[in-house]
Structures are given as C-alpha cells and as structure tokens.
Structure 1
Amino acid sequence: MMALFSNIKNAWHLFKQVDMEQLSHLSKRIDLAEVMNKLGKLDDRKLSGLMKLMDGNQVKKELPPIDGDFYNISHTLTPDERALQLRVRAFMEEEVKPIANDYWLKGEFPHHLIPKVAELDICGMTYAGFSDPVRSCLIEGVLAIEMARIDASFATFFGVQSGLVMGSVHLLGSEEQKREWLPALKSMRKIGAFGLTEPEVGSAVAGGLTMKAKRNGNTWTLNGKKKWIGNATFADVIIIWAEDEDDRQIKGFLVRKENPGLQVAKMEDKMALRIVQNGLVTLTACVVEEADRLQKANSFKDTADVLRITRAGVAWLAVGCARGAYEAALKYTRERMQFGKPIASFQLIQNHLVEMLTNLTAMQTMVARLSELQDQKELTDEHASLAKVFCSLRTRDIVSKAREVMGGNGILLEYDVARFVADAEAIYSYEGTKEINTLIVGRAITGYSAFV
C-alpha cells in the first residue's frame, strides 16, 4: 500500500510540471484518470526514467572511444615513443586523410607532402646510426600502422623508401655508398625505388632474372625490364637486381635517374594502391659504374636478407589497413540510424564488429612479437613469412566485414572503407604471395622443401 502511495505521489509530482493550460489541452486528447492509474502502477525505476524523459534533460549516452588497439599495445611504449606515434598520427589525420580519396581516385601522388614527411624524421629508423637499435623495429612497425590506418598507399611509399631502398644500401652497400645515399634518403632529399619484380618473373625471382648484367672493366651494362616498381616514376635512384651473365648470380646496382638507357613508364588503371606510382622500368644498354654496384650483394641470398626485414614491415602495414577499416566501420555503425536506433545496437552488427576486432587484435600481438624478434636479431624468413600470410589474410576478412556492415555506402570512397577494401588486395600479393610465404613456413616446420 505504501509503495502504491509513493508511486502516486511521484506521478502527481510529474504532472505538476505541466501547467494548467497544457493540462486542459491534454485532457481533451487522453483520459487523465486512466493515465494516473497507470502511472501509479509503475515501479520507481520506470517512473524515474519517465520523469527524466519529460524533463528533457536526459544525458546523452557516453560511448567508449573508437580505438582498434584493444589490448593496449601502445601502452608498452615509452613516453617519447608514444609522443612520436601521436605526432605521426596527427600528420596522417591532418595532412593525408583530407586528400587521400581525391589523390587515390586520380591515381596521383601528393609530392608536396614529402618535405613534411621528412620533418617527422622517421625514415630509416631501424638502421645503425639513426636511432636506438634496441626497439627501433617495434617503433617502426607502430608508425607503419599509423600511416596505413589512414592510407595504405602512403604507407607503401614510405616503406619502399625507408625499408627496401635504405635497407638495401645499409645491408649490402659499401661504406662510401652508405655515406652518399643514407643521409640523403633519410632526409628524403633523394627518393629511391626497388626493382626486383619483372614482367615475366614474380615469385620465381630466386630461380633467375631476365634482367642481365655484363661487366666490362669498371662498368656494367644492364638490359631488361622491371615491373610494379613503386616510386619509380619520380625516383632519384632505382636499386636494380640483375643476373650476372658470367657467374649467373644476382647482383644489385644503384641506377641513377640520369643514367643513359633508363626509361620509366607509369603503370595505369590499377584498382589498388592507386596513389603509389608504380613504373615499368626498361634498361637498354644502360651503363652503370662499378662504384654503383652494391658491393655486398653477390647472390639472391643477399637480396633475401632485405626482403626478410621488409616483409615484416608489410605485415605491420596490413594491420594498419585493417585497423583503419575497422575504426571507420565502427564509427559508421554508431552514426547510421535504422528502425529508430543506431545499427551498432543490433546483435548481428556487433557480431561482425567483434569478429573484426578479434582478428585485428591477434594480428597486432603477432606483429609486436615479430618486431621483438627482429630487434633481438632473431628474426628468420619463416617468422616474417608467417606474419605476412596471416596478417594479409585476416586483413582481407576485416575489410570485407567493414564493407558489409556499411551496406551500399561501403562502396563509396567518401566513407574510406572502399579504398581499404581495394588496397588490401595489393597488400595480399606484394612482398611474397600467400602461396610462396606458406611454402617458406612449410619448409621450416617439416624439413622438406615443396618449391618446384
């Protein structure tokens, strides 16, 4: 009885908030006695909610932050490392994100951003003399995520410069070549490209190249073609890998843009990584000085040392692409209203989001451990290959689900996910296909090589 009295008292308090004119108008539309009767039967919780609704001061629901780092890997960074991560994030969000879709659609590169990237001073972090080597691979990976979560093309451009090109010079160049090229590449006063893949030779590079090199005293003559060479259309130097006609071993050469016999044609009509300027490189009787041959590159094994390091970087890049798609999809589902509610409140949408986050979190923890191994000088081919296989596969799955929860809007560039979907296809293939990387891991765990 007391509970009923309390509820009626609260209900009367609710009605007192309505002035007499409103009450008179309301009585013509509803049965006030019946309303009072029903209000009296409400429990305190329901009545309190009704009062808040009528007050018009209901506090907007506070949602958790949109953050794909669910296991807080960034919390393992030092304050200085975290500050660097946030500085790169700010650059990508303020400088790259507003123009990414436009440049992606046009298939052009934003050259005006190169000096601004140089100011970040993050190029070549993994190489001695440029940073603390103890954790440099981990930090470089974290920065790769920050770039790729906004635009995988821009991250790829940077990966070629900082990884493939600088890595080749650092690992295989003479001291003179390091002094000439590494500072210029680090400051981005010079842009580099890496030429290994050929029109007819992709996965089979270890078995021989059609690009040939012939020594003539203190010079080499190079003939052949390279395909899919990122940055090639505007590079100051292209590292060209060629088969020595005399000993049939793979050699590396620093081919300068002014070398006679060098031609580069931009590859058009790509469906992925459209900001990356891939070139078809043709060398016709191109003469290169012996001083521009990478002095420590004498076989494909030496080339593989570079690929092992950069393949780990591509795994991080794949994580960034996946994270960008996940975060964009999560934001969309919170804002997209259907049936009077945000679609993020629906069970099936939440199931997709959680599956995406599960894969993303597994990928992040894998690449974090991968870079620990790299920093500890314990990285093997199979370590890098396993990460590349898993991360590129899971990225494909994540971007697919991101597009799915966005419905038809998922194919529009303005929502960003469409670009991630397309770019994931290129990441899936470059730096070794799934099949080749699978066989590298398979050989390591079985002891048998299944390569042809």
Structure 2
Amino acid sequence: AVFSRAPLIMALRSVSRLLVNSQRCVLFTASRSQKTAAASPWGRNSRLLDISQFNWRDALDLEGLLTEEEIMIRDSFRTYCQEKLMPRILMANRDEVFHREIVSEMGELGVLGPTIKGYGCAGTSYVAYGLIAREVERVDSGYRSVMSVQSSLVMHPINAYGTEEQKEKYLPRLARGEILGCFGLTEPNHGSDPGGMETRAKYNPSSRTFTLTGSKTWITNSPVADICVVWAKCEDGKVRGFLLERGMKGLSTPKIEGKFSLRASATGMIIMDEVEVPEENLLPKVSGLAGPFGCLNNARYGIAWGALGAAEFCFHAARQYTLDRIQFGVPLARNQLIQKKMADMLTEIAIGLQSCVQLGRLIDEKKAAPEMISMLKRNSCGKALDIARQARDMLGGNGIADEYHIIRHVMNLEAVNTYEGTHDIHALILGRAITGLQSFTVDK
C-alpha cells in the first residue's frame, strides 16, 4: 500500500508541538516550584531546609550554645528574680526605695563576683555572669546596676589590683552581700574625660597615709555603701585606686534626689574633705587610667547582656498586650505595622544575644579586645532603648502606666545608654580602632 506522507508529517508536527509545550510546562512548573521553595521553608526540600520548628522565644537557639552548668545557674536565678524581685519593683520604683536585703539574698545565691575564683566566689564562666545580668535586668536595670557595681567595679579591682590581705579582708564579705561597695570615678566636672580628674591624693610619709580631697558624683550605691573604691590623682600625676571605709573622718556620701531613672537603686556622691587613708588601703598593682578602665570593661560586658534582658521583657509584654487588645474587631497583633515592629525587635534581640555569647567565650579564653566590649555595650543599650520605646508606643496610652512596667524600662535604659561610656563615646572608641585616629580631643 502506498501511504500519503502528509498525514504522517502533520502527526509528527502535532507530537513535536505537544512535546515542546510539555517541556515548557515542566520547565515553568519546576521554575515556579524552585521559587516557591526558596520563598518558603516548607518547599520541596523541606526535609532539608526545615529541620526544626522555629521557636520565636529563642530565635537563634541560644540554648544550644550554653553548658548545663550555665543553664542551671540561669534558671535558678531567673526563679529568684521573678519570685522575689518582680513583686518588689513596682513600689520600689514609685517610692524610690532601695531594699538593702536584696544584696544579701544575691550573696546567698552566689551571684556576686561570680567569675572570681576563690574567696567565697563561685568561679563561673563569663557567659554565666552575662546570663545572670540578663535575668536581673529583665526585672529592673537598677537592680542589675547594684549587682554590677558590687561584682565588676568593687570586687574585680580588689581581686585584680589588690594585695592578698585586701582580698582576704574584703572579698568573702562582699561575696556574701554582708557589705556593699561603690566605685568612684566620675566627677562633677569630669565624666567622659576621667583623665582630667580633680580628686587628689597626697602621701604623708610620717604617718604612712594618703590624704584624699575631692568629690565624685552619680555613684551607684554610695549612700548605703560600706566601702568605696575611689580613683584619685597622686602627686606624680598618676591615677591610683584607694579603698575607703564608711566612718572615715571627712568622708560623706549624700544621696542625689529627684532621679527619674534607676529609682530602685541608690545613687549619690562621694565627698572627701581631707580623708586620711592608710597606706595599706592603696590598690598597689595598677596605676594610670588602665585601672578604672579595666573595671569599666568588666562592667560594660555585663551591661551588654543586661540591656537585652530589659529589651526582652518589653518585647514579650508588647507581644502579649497586642494579642489581647482588640481594636476594630481584631487583635492589634494582626496589624502589619505591629508585626513588623515585633519582627525587628526579635531580630535585634536574637542577634545581640548571639554576639554576647561569643564575646563571653572570648573573655573566658582571654582573647577579647576592649573594643569588642565597647561595640556590644553600645549596640545592646542603643537597640534595647529603641525596643523599649517601640513597645511603649504599641501599648498606646497604657504604655505610660507603671503597672505595665515598660515605661520604667524606657526611663532606666536612658541612663544605661549613658553611663559607663555614652553611646557616642563608644562610637569614638570604635572609630579610633577603625581609623587609627584619636578624635576625643583636638590638638591646640
């Protein structure tokens, strides 16, 4: 039989068109699937991409970076903070009252000077210290300030720069919270410029004493402190540290009134009118500003953690409020603007905590540079203040009521963002490291 080629050619062309169209369809479908998979964690390779459910409470798995001991320390101290400190804070802040017994309670828990080894101290990691700071500042920055001063600004210099006799005399009692300390560096005319301090220490060879004259201001704990670590300029022009005890003639510590921040802690001055200090109360192992700066670096590390604790409280409180608050028939949390704010909050907190863990490990390994601490103190405080302000706004009018706690955190973080190196001073520290150029002063 003879067959016409026309029907065959037409059939082949039909098949070809079908195959081509099918290939285009497959390519388009595959392409769209890839895009969908890339945009969603539940795509075609979800078994690889979505290895666990996202936990917004621990967005970058901080828990997985901690040791069992660190988790135990954190959890036990969190229980104390929530059960013992949280019920006190509302009225303490309203009435501007510092409860001295808190220091003794913290001493019983072993959280004062926790990184120091021996002398009744716990000898924990720096990450554990950071976790402690985070938990107490989740309640209040004033309470964390009290703990930070005791641990980093009083116990640390005695341990790092003091004699064995000084360590044995003071550290066990400070660790128990039996005595409370304060740290005097800032002066009425010298805040960010400690090198210009006016407090003087004159040596008296006949009595083997130093005569200290001058004043310090904005000193946490000073009105109720038993000992003061005071920095003064000696006759050779070098800055040195001294241990002053309450009751020394010429020493007074008046309270600063009218604070709108850190009201649950006591803040005052240290006034020295020819205070005679025994030679054995000199911290002998350091001279110059390296001494107080070493203390401040230790404290700034704890602040980096603590500020994020305050931010976490504000974030959690704003989340719950906007879920519960119904406006226009739906929860506020359904609003896109609210969700965007919460996404920003969560991101900054999660990234900040990861950075703090890394810095803590570097400090434990003695690999941390001071600029690293400046970077995180600056970042944590600035971001925490932004988060607290956003949370206050999300609560509307209720945001300024102290029963919701957020406005207290806002006011506290204003001070935390300023003390122990302002936001801008830490920027200049980083700028100097980046450029090699000193920008604090202008050559005359």
TM-score range, shorter chain: 0.7 to 0.9
Secondary structure in 1 aligned to 2:178?
Answer: coil
* Overall identity of the aligned pairs, in %: 35
- Paired AA for residue 134 in structure 2: I
Determine the structure 2 residue equivalent to 1:241: 231
State the TM-score, normalized to the length of structure 2.
0.84
Greater mean deviation of Cα atoms: 311-320 or 109-118 = 109-118
> Which of 405, 408, 426 is residue 437 of structure 1 equivalent to?
426
Q: For 1:161 and 1:131, how far apart are their aligned partners in 2?
A: 12
How far does residue 337 in structure 1 lie from its aligned partner after superposition? 1.8
Q: For 2:136 and 2:264, how far apart are their aligned partners in 1?
A: 13
Note closer, same or farther for the CA distance 1:267–1:66 as it changes in structure 2 (3 Å cut): farther
Note closer, same or farther for the CA distance 1:446–1:415 as it changes in structure 2 (3 Å cut): same
How far does residue 340 in structure 1 lie from its aligned partner after superposition? 2.6
Secondary structure in 1 aligned to 2:268?
Answer: strand
> Which of 70, 85, 97 is residue 108 of structure 1 equivalent to?
97
How far does residue 103 in structure 1 lie from its aligned partner after superposition? 0.4
Q: For 1:76 and 1:116, how far apart are their aligned partners in 2?
A: 29
- Paired AA for residue 232 in structure 1: S
Asked whether the 8 Å contact 1:330–1:353 carries over to 2, the reply is yes
Greater mean deviation of Cα atoms: 145-154 or 118-127 = 118-127
Note closer, same or farther for the CA distance 1:95–1:363 as it changes in structure 2 (3 Å cut): same
Q: For 2:308 and 2:248, how far apart are their aligned partners in 1?
A: 38
Secondary structure in 2 aligned to 1:401?
Answer: helix
> Which of 204, 207, 215 is residue 216 of structure 1 equivalent to?
204
Secondary structure in 2 aligned to 1:254?
Answer: strand
Runs of 5+ unmatched residues, structure 2: 1-52
Asked whether the 8 Å contact 1:253–1:294 carries over to 2, the reply is yes
Q: For 1:155 and 1:333, how far apart are their aligned partners in 2?
A: 28
Matched, 1:179 2:155: no
Asked whether the 8 Å contact 1:68–1:323 carries over to 2, the reply is no
1:7-406 aligned within 5 A? 68-129=57-118, 136-205=125-194, 207-217=195-205, 218-244=208-234, 246-406=235-395
Deviations 1:286-315 (A, max 9, x none): 000000111113211222222222211111
How far does residue 234 in structure 1 lie from its aligned partner after superposition? 0.9
Runs of 5+ unmatched residues, structure 1: 1-63
Q: For 1:159 and 1:286, how far apart are their aligned partners in 2?
A: 26
State the TM-score, normalized to the length of structure 1.
0.82
Deviations 1:394-428 (A, max 9, x none): 11110111111111111110001011111110010
How far does residue 128 in structure 1 lie from its aligned partner after superposition? 2.5
Asked whether the 8 Å contact 2:182–2:229 carries over to 1, the reply is yes
Q: For 1:419 and 1:93, how far apart are their aligned partners in 2?
A: 17
Deviations 1:159-193 (A, max 9, x none): 11111111111111111111111111111111100
Secondary structure in 2 aligned to 1:268?
Answer: coil
Q: For 1:66 and 1:181, how far apart are their aligned partners in 2?
A: 44
Asked whether the 8 Å contact 1:166–1:182 carries over to 2, the reply is yes
> Which of 436, 444, 449 is residue 438 of structure 2 equivalent to?
449
Q: For 2:288 and 2:81, how far apart are their aligned partners in 1?
A: 38
Matched, 1:416 2:415: no
Q: For 1:68 and 1:111, how far apart are their aligned partners in 2?
A: 33
Secondary structure in 2 aligned to 1:87?
Answer: helix
How far does residue 65 in structure 1 lie from its aligned partner after superposition? 12
- Paired AA for residue 221 in structure 1: T
Secondary structure in 2 aligned to 1:315?
Answer: helix
